Amino acid sequence: MIIGLDLATKSGVAFGCAGSAPETYQIVFEGSHEARLLDCFVNMRRLFKSNQPEFVGIELPIMGGKANLRATMLKTGLVNAARMAAYSLEIPHEMFATQTLDRHFLGHVPKGRQNRKNAIMRQCELLGWQAGTQDEFDAMQVWDYAAAWHNRKHAIASLPLFSASKKSSKHIRAVSRKPRFGTRFIKGG
């Protein structure tokens, strides 16, 4: 069992075994800052105890932009509350940067928040994964990377190049030959 978390005031949770479609739900944390952090810790500890995950993946909050100090403190606090819950139960866990998640799940880092959200939702739907909210779709992206991180056999099955998409084999060949990281292809015999 792998658990993926996208933590914020409205948090997404995805869980399941690597290689299967994850199940999802949303948690909404309300009340004072302290009440939200305590609620997160209690909910995460309950989730971890009842599911006994092998590994927990947590998306690092995006810092900067329009977020104020209070919002930034809440996001980092929620992440740390979940980490403490995992640590208290001796469950291996890791935090993942948004750009790393995007490169793994989408094959690129989309520009703009809404473009990113739409791309994640489309990729989940291509894989046959359904969710009720955008937070749950985001959690599935975290879950997928956490599953690949913990179980390398799962890694290739969900990469955009190998997902069950409607792309033609001609498009896939073109993508797989695209130079990356300064690599040059030289025509020759």
Q: Where are the beta strands (DSSP E) in the chain?
A: 2-6, 10-16, 23-28, 55-59, 93-96
**Of 61, 21, 25, 55, which Cα lies nearest the Cα of 43?**
25
- pLDDT of res. 158: 53
Do residues 160 and 106 make contact, with C-beta atoms less than 8 angstroms apart? yes
Q: How far apart are CA 111 and CA 146, in angstroms?
A: 23
For residues 173-188, average pLDDT:
38
As given in the structure block, the two tokens for residue 171 are: 């498009």
DSSP 68: -
Percent of the chain with pLDDT over 70: 77
Q: How far apart are CA 144 and CA 73, in angstroms?
A: 27
pTM for the predicted model, two decimal places: 0.78
Report whether CATH 3.30.420.10 matches the domain 2-176. yes
Q: How far apart are CA 118 and CA 164, in angstroms?
A: 18
Report domain extents, the chain: 2-176
Q: How far apart are CA 32 and CA 77, in angstroms?
A: 13
Q: Cβ–Cβ contacts within 10 Å for residue 93, how many?
A: 20
- pLDDT of res. 171: 34
For residues 58-83, average pLDDT:
84
Residue 185 has pLDDT above 60, yes or no: no
Q: What's the pLDDT band for 178 if we cut at 50, 70, 90? A: very low
Q: What's the pLDDT band for 113 if we cut at 50, 70, 90? A: confident
- pLDDT of res. 160: 52
Q: How far apart are CA 140 and CA 125, in angstroms?
A: 11
For residues 103-122, average pLDDT:
91
Q: What is the pLDDT of residues 120-177, one digit of tens each?
A: 999 999 999 999 999 999 999 999 999 998 877 555 555 555 444 444 333 333 333 3
